Amino acid sequence: MKIALLSRNRRLYSSRRLIEAAQERGHEVVVIDVLRAYMNIASHKPSIHYKGEPLESFEAVIPRIGASVTSYGCAVLRQFEMMGVVSLNESVAITRSRDKLRSLQLLSRKGIGLPLTGYANKPDDIKDMIKMVGGAPLVIKLLQGTQGIGVVLAETQKAAESVIEGFMGVKADILVQEFIKEAGGSDIRCFVIDGKVVAAMCRTAAPGEFRSNLHRGGKSSLIKITPEERSTAVRAAKIMGLNVAGVDLLRSNHGPVVMEVNSSPGLEGIEGATNKDIAGMVISNLEKLTPGKTGTRGKG
């Protein structure tokens, strides 16, 4: 099978592992910098060109699209889909999961546990919004933030009001969420493939930090999840329409709550914590896919 890996850096751990796993199974992998791909959007023969040459005869595509290039990356991925190439995760599902507000609304509609979350547009509504999510301490998140960037813990009412006013003053879109104190600075990353949690790890924040992201100095370790946590992760990935997903959970007093559903979950932390060949599982699943398997096409 000829596989296109959409990655801007083939040296990243996740990209390297996916290439290795695919080649071990006899597949050919071509790494494509998504920003260098350009498209001919034609009715009868849509095509993609890369560095002056047409991209042809691909059977599958693995999107590793960074958050900063989501719009263009998903446009390229849609073009592959129009050409009949099977995608590990479809463009609609990726776009859906990358929109923090929309993803939370979709999860909420299906009854998935979530932190109390507020969203407002005007400074006049700040105090009521803070009250709505249970008051300080609370977490303020930029909608466009990734890897813990743009996430602020406001420990007092005044601090929360000041930070929210500041973000609103520069026209930044934010969410305000309750702070799950009982989680103790830890969260759970569940790696879901084809409707099953194949691995899970606990991520614990570095001393003096409340964000557990590994990019922020957090540490990962093996964890045994509960049946409720497993079910929540599987349902969250399915609601997003993602065949492969990293679902981040917090253990709260009222059960597991979903923080985020990641469409391009990193492999380094989860493989290191669990000692499992997650990359191999991803490629094995890709071999079984047919176009449209996740059922997201045509659904906004």
pLDDT tens for each residue of the chain, 300 residues long: 999 999 999 999 999 999 999 999 999 999 999 999 999 998 788 999 999 999 999 999 999 999 889 999 999 999 999 999 999 999 999 999 999 999 999 999 999 999 999 998 888 899 999 999 999 999 998 887 566 577 888 999 999 999 999 988 888 888 999 999 888 888 999 999 999 999 999 988 766 555 655 555 567 789 999 999 999 999 999 999 999 999 999 999 989 999 999 999 999 999 999 999 999 999 999 999 876 555 454 344
What token pair was written down for 148? Answer: 């813990």
Strand ranges of the sheet holding 151-154, from the earlier edge strand across to the other edge: 117-118, 174-178, 138-142, 151-154
pLDDT of residue 226: 96
Q: Which residue(s) pair with 139 in the sheet? A: 153, 177
Domains in the chain with CATH codes: 2-89 (3.40.50.20), 97-112+182-288 (3.30.470.20), 117-179 (3.30.1490.20)
Q: What is the pTM of this model?
A: 0.89
**pLDDT at residue 117, rounded to an integer:** 94
Q: What is the pLDDT of residue 292?
A: 54
